[in-house]
Each structure stands twice: as C-alpha cells, then as structure tokens.
Amino acid sequence: MSDRSGGSDRVDRRGLTLMVAVGALAAAAFAAAGAAYGTEQLLDEVFRGPAWLTVALPALGIVANSAIRYVGAHRSGPASIDAYIDSYHGRRIDDRQSIARASGGVASVGLGTGVDATGLAVLLGMWFTNLARRVLGRTSPDLLVLGAAAGFGAALDSPVAGGVLAVEIPFREGLSWRRLPIALVGSCAGYLARSAIDGFSVPWRTDVGVVGLRDVFIALGLAVLAGVASRCVALLSGRAEAGLGATYSRERYHLGAAAVLLVGVGVVARGAFDGVPLHLGPGTGALGWAATASAGGLLALLALRAITTGVSVLGRATGGLVIPLLVVGMISGRLLGQALDGNMVLLAAVGAAAVLGAGYRVPLAALVWLAEATHSIPAVALGTVVVLIAQRVGAGRSVSTAQRAEPVEPATRPDAA
C-alpha cells in the first residue's frame, strides 16, 4: 500500500512540476515577445518623429535608463544578457534589480539608443521561469535556460538559433549540450508567441544566389576584419564595465559623456543621410537605406552604427548587442562586396554571422542563424570557415564580461568526489 502511495506522490509531483513549468514558459514567452514587439513599435514611432525629437530622445533614453535603475534597485547595473549568464552560473537573481533593469531597458531600447530588445526579452523570460524555479525549490539552471531561450527566440524571430544561443552564450568556449533540448523548446515557444502577436515571419530570410571564387576570397578578408571588430567592441565593453580610469570611475561620467555624444551623432546623422535618422536603435532601420547606398555611403553608415553602439555601451544602456552586431556585420559585408564586385547579399549574411560569432563567442549559434537566414548550403560552408577565422582573430575576447571559460559538468569537477 505504501509503495502505491509513494508512486502516486511521485506522479503528482511530476504533474505539478510540468504544470508550473508550462505556465511559466507561456508567461515568459508572451512577456518577452510583447516587450520586444512593444519597444520596436515605440522605436518606429520615434523614427518617424520630427528631427529634434530623433536627436534628443536617445540621450533622454540613456538618462532615463540610468535613473530608473538608480531609484528602482539601489544602483542596479545595466546587465541584461550578462544577468542571465551570472544567474546560470549560480548568482542569485534579485527581483527588484530585474524589474529595474527591464524598466530601464524599455527606455533605452524604445527611445533609440544603440542596443536591442534581446536583453530586455531575456531578462523578462528568465524572471518568470526563475519564479517557477523558486516555487518548485529547484537549483538547476534548466528553468532559467527555458526562459532565456524564450527571450532569444522572441527577440530574434529565430526558433533554432535562439535556443542554441541560450546554451552557448554562458561560455566563451563550448556549450551545454544536455540543456539544448530544453532551450529549443523555450526558443520555439518565444518564436510562436512573437508570431502570434506580430505574424509569422523570418525577418532575416534572404536569397544569397550563387557563391563564386571571388566571394570566397572577399569573405576570408571579412573574417579578419570581423575578428578585429570584436576585439574593439570587447575592449569598449570592458571599459564601460570597469570605468574609464581613475577620473571616470562613476556612472554619471559615462552617462554625461554618452548623452552628449548621442546628441552629436544624431545631428550628424540627420545632416549626412538625407534627414533619415539612421543612428536610431540597433540598426535594423538602416538596412533598407544600405541596400541602395554607394560604397562611400556604406562606409559612413558603418562608422555611424559602430559609434552609436559604442556610445550606448559606454553609457551603460540596458539591452542586448546581438542585433547591433548582426547589423554591423551586414553593412561590412555589403561594403566589401560592393567595393570588390562580390556577391553583396551573400557577404552581408556571412559578415553578420562572423561578427556575431566573434563578438559573443558563439560560433555555433551564428552558423545556425546563417542557415536559418539563407537556407543555403554553400553559404553555411563558407560561413563556417569565416566564423572560425574570426574566432581565432578575436583571440578569446568577448563583449560579455560574465562568460565562463567553458562548461564543466559536475562529474568532472575536482571537488565532485
């Protein structure tokens, strides 16, 4: 009789665990999708606003982000994706800090700074599944991965790459293979939630056409440039985290300098790009303009996007760098393709994968994204070589300061015995 009772209790606990996990995943997916969609709609309204507004709002967004984090959670840091990485590795999630960071992220992303909604979506996704983890008394990061993957899938509209990113981004080398199925479930849930709100789409889908020998050589040069670019962004991220030396050791100096620079970038952008505010947001709005730009225009746009993203990182804006890295890579690939008479569409896609892979040290996620975006075996084959070269040139540096060296399973740890 007792055996039957014990078996029934185990079944009941499993049923309760499943119900709580499914409910938390649904909440995480729709919260992440709603936040990503809402901030993008807000950014669209800013993009269509008057000139003075597009110049002023990014600076206002970075100031509002800092103020919300300061008042809401005792000077909560701007970490968003890094907050997930820290939590994955065992750091406790503070609810007030999560809420403050998410609220600050709405301001910084929605008002046009150079970060994206990925960090905001990941914050919200893992917050809901972390609540479920506390209810169930679990310490494993499995539920965190589930929620974060929902955020990646919703923000990127990418059901597979989002899941791979969730298990690869906590580490500088390798990924947690045994949590990949959980991450794919979460990422697909986030993608479906976003599609239910915004309509089913693959925003990065493109036909790359024929891959020629000239394109291969151009792509190899692009790989080296992507690795160098990732080093620069990683250096800037580290400086923004630690402070600019003894003089600029407090956030208000970062904030003031970034706000002034964002206003200056906005003035330059309105004057240099036919009144189009290409400096706003993570850069997706600039891709349409880039499709018909000259080589000189693409070079100017690349500099503008790099400066905007760098200034936003310097000002400690809350948000992700996944889409900004993709956009910088796309513009770089298109620029080289136009200058050297290559396949611009192919090189834009390969360049995006190379910069993302080197920037966050996520080569597999970058290649999966490339496969989802192009559906082209030659493009993925070329992208594999390019991403690996960019990784080597990047020399282990990452835009994230929270990543650990590599996964270490409990059975192999020195203290496991």
Are 14 and 147 in the same domain?
A: yes
Are 190 and 222 in the same domain?
A: no
pLDDT in tens, 67-79: 888 887 655 666 7
% the chain with pLDDT above 90? 35
Give the model's confidence band at 415: pLDDT under 50 very low, under 70 low, under 90 confident, else very high: very low
Task: Name the residue among 275, 263, 258 with its Cα closest to residue 313.
Answer: 258
User: Does residue 408 form part of some domain?
Assistant: no
User: Does residue 129 form part of some domain?
Assistant: yes
Domain with residue 372: its CATH number is: 1.10.3080.10
Are 345 and 249 in the same domain?
A: yes
Are 130 and 262 in the same domain?
A: no
Has residue 320 got a pLDDT over 80?
yes
Span 252-275, mean pLDDT?
Answer: 87
**Residue type at 130?**
N
Three-state DSSP at 117 gives coil
Are 140 and 259 in the same domain?
A: no
User: Does residue 407 form part of some domain?
Assistant: no
- Mean pLDDT (the chain, rounded): 84
Residues with Cβ within 8 Å of 9's Cβ and at least 6 positions away in sequence, in order, are: none
Span 388-399, mean pLDDT?
Answer: 83
Range(s) of the domain holding residue 26: 8-198
User: Does residue 178 form part of some domain?
Assistant: yes
**pLDDT of amino acid 413:** 41
User: Does residue 272 form part of some domain?
Assistant: yes
pLDDT in tens, 188-225: 999 999 999 887 766 666 777 778 888 899 999 889 88
Cα–Cα distance measured from residue 31 to residue 47, given in angstroms and rounded to the nearest whole number: 24
90: which DSSP letter? T
Task: Enter the pTM of the model.
Answer: 0.89
Contact 163, 149 (CB under 8 A): yes
Q: Comparing 417 with 363, which gets the higher pLDDT?
A: 363
Count of the separate structural domains present in the chain: 2
Are 49 and 185 in the same domain?
A: yes
Are 354 and 288 in the same domain?
A: yes
User: Does residue 411 form part of some domain?
Assistant: no
Are 76 and 142 in the same domain?
A: yes
pLDDT in tens, 96-138: 888 888 888 899 999 999 899 999 999 999 999 988 888 888 8
User: Does residue 3 form part of some domain?
Assistant: no
Cα–Cα distance measured from residue 317 to residue 39, given in angstroms and rounded to the nearest whole number: 14
Locus of tokens 């406790």: 92
Cα–Cα distance measured from residue 320 to residue 302, given in angstroms and rounded to the nearest whole number: 19
DSSP 3-state percent helix, strand, coil across the chain (nearest 5): 75, 0, 25
**pLDDT of amino acid 12:** 66
Q: Rounded to 5 degrees, what angle do the CA atoms 346, 348, 351 make? A: 105
Are 69 and 156 in the same domain?
A: yes
- Which pair of structure tokens corresponds to residue 320? 């992700």
Q: Comparing 349 with 414, which gets the higher pLDDT?
A: 349
How many Cβ atoms sit within 10 Å of the Cβ of residue 85? Answer: 20
**pLDDT of amino acid 417:** 29
User: Does residue 402 form part of some domain?
Assistant: no
Give the DSSP letter string of 77-103: ---SHHHHHHHHTTPPPPHHHHHHHHH
Has residue 311 got a pLDDT over 80?
yes
Q: Comparing 375 with 15, which gets the higher pLDDT?
A: 375
pLDDT in tens, 273-284: 888 898 898 988
Are 246 and 181 in the same domain?
A: no
Last residue of one domain, picked from the residues 198, 233, 251: 198
User: Of 122-126, 182-186, 240-244, where does mean pLDDT reach its minimum?
Assistant: 240-244
Length, in residues, of the chain: 417
**pLDDT of amino acid 169:** 93
User: Of 84-98, 132-146, 213-227, 232-246, where does mean pLDDT reach its minimum?
Assistant: 232-246
Integer-rounded Cα radius of gyration of the chain: 21
**pLDDT of amino acid 411:** 43
Are 183 and 222 in the same domain?
A: no
Are 281 and 318 in the same domain?
A: yes
